[in-house]
Amino acid sequence: MNKSVRKAVIAGNWKMNKTRPEAKALLEELAPMVKDIKTVEVVACVPFTNLETALEATKGTNIKIGAQNCHFEKSGAFTGEISADMLKEMGVEYVVLGHSERRQYFGETDETVNKRTKAALAAGLKPIVCVGELLWERECNITEEVIARQIKLDFYDIPAEDFAKCIIAYEPVWAIGTGKTATADQAEEVCAFIRAQLEKKYGKAVADAATIQYGGSMNAKNAAELVAKENVDGGLIGGASLKAPDFTEIVKAAENG
């Protein structure tokens, strides 16, 4: 297996943070800091209300913009929802799907994650699909079962050529926003397991080329050790993506990893 066959992607998941002026200021601070980054894709996944501002603020830079969810229907009576086509039309490139906060607080299931992933792909977006076990599941020693099930269900009926446009983010739920990072070995173990599942489903070439991120309390201090691992191809960053210098450190760690 060869890490150089795949792209490292560092994506900030801003979650429900930043007004438009704050978003503009953060991206304008970040852009010059990451302008010389060549080998890492830098993405900011911002709240819906910030998308237009973010697209404008990053024009001509190497920062790509993503949303944090999309609905699975093309249009219709779904009050409060946003379709994949609406995002694509704006110039949005990525969309985070199946984040554990959506699963936990908004009733997201593997079935709806699968439908949303298909809708995003059909619209030409690049989905960042999140998987990960709860602390209780890890303690019960069923992490691999949980992850295998999520991969099977979330990518059900998605052919290899479409899967190739997806990123998987491994985010152990117990590590999100808790300051409790998975060790680099724990992250590597599960990311390698994910790649093995992908190999079974899609074959070796597709699995080798898949970008698998780690997410969960990743920061400027621990990023280098995590992204140096063979099967960790970048990160999905929450809290630390809200500070341009910290986020830049993580991007640089991935460029050197």
CB of 51 to ligand 13P, least distance (A): 17
DSSP state of 181: P
Q: Which residue is associated with the tokens 């229907």?
A: 73
Closer to ligand 13P by CB, 23 or 176: give it: 176
**Token pair recorded at residue 160:** 């290899």
Among 171, 188, 246, 249, indicate the residue that binds ligand 13P (CB under 6 A).
171
- Note whether 234 binds ligand 13P by CB under 6 A: no
- Note whether 176 binds ligand 13P by CB under 6 A: yes
Catalytically active residues are 99, 171
Beta carbons of 220 and 189 less than 8 angstroms apart: no
CB of 222 to ligand 13P, least distance (A): 10
CB of 225 to ligand 13P, least distance (A): 15
**Token pair recorded at residue 154:** 């979330």
The contact mask relative to ligand 13P for 125-164 (x = CB under 6 A, - = no) is: ----------------------------------------
Among 66, 98, 172, 215, indicate the residue that binds ligand 13P (CB under 6 A).
215
Quote the CA–CA distance of 231 and 212 in Å, as a whole number.
7
Beta carbons of 11 and 44 less than 8 angstroms apart: yes
The contact mask relative to ligand 13P for 61-100 (x = CB under 6 A, - = no) is: --------------------------------------x-
Among 218, 226, 232, 254, indicate the residue that binds ligand 13P (CB under 6 A).
218
CA dihedral 122, 161, 43, 225 (to 10 degrees): 150
- Note whether 172 binds ligand 13P by CB under 6 A: no
Helix (H, G, I), strand (E, B) or coil at 68: coil
Which amino acid, 184? Answer: A
Closer to ligand 13P by CB, 85 or 186: give it: 186
Quote the CA–CA distance of 61 and 48 in Å, as a whole number.
20
Which amino acid, 76? Answer: G
Quote the CA–CA distance of 136 and 140 in Å, as a whole number.
6
Closer to ligand 13P by CB, 218 or 254: give it: 218
Among the listed ranges 46-54, 116-124, 133-141, 235-243, the one in contact with ligand 13P (CB under 6 A) is 235-243
Closer to ligand 13P by CB, 146 or 202: give it: 146
Residues 6 or more apart whose CB falls under 8 angstroms from that of 97 comprise 69, 70, 113, 116, 117, 120, 127, 128, 129, 130
- Range 98-127, binding ligand 13P (CB under 6 A): 99
Reference 43, options 28, 32, 23, 58; nearest CA is 58
- Range 26-45, binding ligand 13P (CB under 6 A): none
DSSP state of 36: T
Neighbours of 79 (CB within 10 A): 4
Greatest CA separation for the chain: 48
Residues that bind ligand 13P (CB under 6 A): 13, 99, 171, 176-177, 215-218, 236-240
